[in-house]
């Protein structure tokens, strides 16, 4: 029997954070020009695959009920179909997604899942990784960064990437907190006031220009930010992406864990580390 047929492939879809996100204007196609610093956590959703005679997807985990598994609405399925088409292969695999991250939370969950599918199926099907790189931008603006899942600066719509080697990022203790509410990325960008507040230079002095429109949509985000800022050892507190997840970078794991233990029960939390 082919050794491949007996294997199961596994991938983490790391949670994505925007350590800073500056909106600089609008592009001719109506999308927004941004400057952002992508960072990734060691934790996230989990995806497995094994050979099958057809394309199948099962979804489980605490946030499974927030997802659709129809072919045209799930980025894992779309990634598989697009990759197979790009590589000239039959699209066949048994995929299982463990959805551990909240949906529409500013963590790149869907993009990270699609990117994980590209990495996993590239390995399982034995195809050229260049095919995954070609497919990623078709799936969404964040997918190229999530395909890399390493610290990088994003420009354009976030798809023009430059790798960043900053020793202050990898290994940093971080606490993610979400008030249990989602924010539409489209609505957050639509609520941006159109003011260019300047370029992203030093990310630690940066900002998230989607915070104000996200707060207008989900005022509870303000309570999460205030709560995180009050934690001992919290060095940088911001909202990620279009929200509603907020994060705090901590001086050490002990301070992060003390904060995690105190998170109100009604909020989702994840104590993790940056890659």
Please state, in angstroms and rounded to a whole number, the distance separating the CA atoms of residues 107 and 149. 12
Instruction: Identify the helix (H) or strand (E) that includes residue 228.
Output: helix 220-229
Give the tokens for residue 214: 């996200």
Kind plus residue range of the DSSP H or E element containing 16: strand 9-26
Catalytic residue selected from 16, 43, 182, 209? 16
26 is catalytic: no
Sign of CA dihedral 100, 173, 206, 13: negative
Phi, psi of 73, rounded to the nearest 5 degrees: -125, 0
Given the residues 43, 45, 113, 142, the one annotated as active site? 142
Residues across the chain:
275
Question: With 0-12 CB in 10 A as exposed, 13-18 as middle and 19+ as buried, what is 164?
Answer: middle
Residue with tokens 């960064």: 145
Q: How far apart are CA 198 and CA 188, in angstroms?
A: 19
Q: Residue 16 catalytic?
A: yes
Q: Which residues are catalytic?
A: 16, 142
């Amino acid at each position: 029997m082919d050794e491949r047929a007996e294997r199961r492939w596994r991938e983490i879809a790391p949670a994505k954070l925007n350590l800073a996100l500056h909106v600089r204007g609008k592009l001719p196609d109506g999308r927004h020009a941004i400057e952002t610093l992508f960072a990734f956590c060691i934790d996230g959703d989990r995806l497995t695959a094994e050979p099958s005679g057809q394309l199948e997807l099962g979804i489980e985990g605490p946030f499974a009920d927030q997802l659709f598994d129809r072919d045209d609405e799930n980025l894992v399925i779309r990634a598989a179909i697009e990759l197979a088409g790009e590589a000239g292969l039959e699209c066949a695999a048994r995929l299982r997604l463990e959805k551990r991250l909240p949906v529409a939370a500013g963590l790149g969950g869907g993009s990270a899942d699609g990117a994980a599918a590209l990495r996993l199926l590239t390995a399982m099907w034995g195809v050229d990784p260049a095919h995954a790189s070609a497919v990623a931008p078709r799936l969404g603006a964040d997918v190229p960064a999530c395909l890399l899942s390493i610290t990088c600066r994003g420009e354009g719509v976030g798809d023009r990437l430059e790798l960043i080697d900053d020793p202050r990022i990898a290994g940093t203790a971080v606490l993610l907190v979400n008030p249990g509410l989602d924010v539409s990325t489209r609505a957050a960008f639509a609520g941006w006031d159109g003011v260019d507040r300047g370029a992203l230079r030093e990310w630690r002095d940066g900002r998230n220009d989607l915070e104000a429109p996200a707060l207008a949509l989900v005022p509870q985000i303000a309570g999460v930010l205030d709560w995180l800022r009050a934690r001992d050892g919290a060095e940088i507190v911001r909202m990620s992406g279009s929200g509603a997840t907020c994060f705090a970078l901590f001086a050490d794991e002990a301070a992060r864990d003390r904060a995690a233990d105190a998170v109100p029960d009604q909020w989702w939390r994840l104590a993790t580390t940056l890659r």
